Amino acid sequence: MTIPHSTLRRTLLATLATSAVLLAGCATPGAGDSGKTPGTMNAAALKKLDDLVTRDAAAGRLPGAVIVLYRDGKVVHEKAIGVRNPQASSSSPMTVDSIFRIYSMTKPIVSVGTMMLVEDGKVLLNAPVSRYLPEFKDLKLAVEKKDAAGNPVLELVPSPRQPTVQDLLRHTSGLTYGVFGKSLVKSEYLKAGVEGVDLSNTEFSKRIATMPLAYVPGTMWEYSRSTDVLGALIERVSGQTLGVYLQQRILGPLGMKDSGFSVPADQQGRIAEPFKLDPDSKQPVNLIDITKPPVYESGGGGMVSTAVDYLRFCRMMLNGGELDGVRILSPKTVASMMSNHLSDDMLRASRVPGANTGYLPGPAYGFGLGFAVRMAPGESASASSVGESNWGGFGGTAFWIDPKEKLIAIWMMQAPNQRGYYREVFRNMVYGAF
The end-to-end CA distance of the chain, in Å, is 55
Residues 370 and 336 sit within 8 Å (Cβ to Cβ): no
**pLDDT above 70 as % of the chain:** 90
Q: State how far the Cα of 286 lies from the Cα of 305, in Å rounded to an integer.
A: 18
Residue 193: half-sphere exposure toward Cβ, Cα within 13 Å = 9
Beta strands 372-374; 365-367: pairing state: antiparallel
Residues 100 and 397 sit within 8 Å (Cβ to Cβ): yes
- DSSP assigned state of 371: S
Residue 356: half-sphere exposure toward Cβ, Cα within 13 Å = 17
Each residue's pLDDT tens digit, 80-89: 999 999 999 7
Nearest CA to 164 among 207, 119, 204, 118? 118
Residues 308 and 96 sit within 8 Å (Cβ to Cβ): yes
Beta strands 152-158; 74-82: pairing state: unpaired
Angle CA(221)–CA(227)–CA(230) in degrees, nearest 5? 125
What global pTM score does this model have?
Answer: 0.90
The pLDDT tens digits along the chain (434 residues) read 444 444 434 443 443 333 333 333 333 333 333 455 555 799 999 999 999 999 999 999 999 999 999 999 999 999 999 999 999 978 799 999 999 999 999 999 999 999 999 999 999 999 999 999 999 999 999 998 988 888 989 999 999 999 999 999 999 999 999 888 889 999 999 999 888 778 999 999 999 999 999 999 999 999 999 999 999 999 999 999 999 999 999 999 999 999 999 999 999 999 999 999 999 999 999 999 999 999 999 999 999 999 999 999 999 999 999 999 999 999 999 999 999 999 999 999 998 876 767 767 778 999 999 999 999 998 888 899 999 999 999 999 999 999 999 999 999 999 999 999 999 999 999 999 99
3-state class of 309 per DSSP? helix
DSSP-assigned letters across all residues of 61-117: S-SEEEEEEEETTEEEEEEEEEBS-TTSSSPPBP-TT-BEEEETTHHHHHHHHHHHH
Write the burial class of residue 37 (CB in 10 Å: 0-12 exposed, 13-18 middle, 19+ buried).
buried
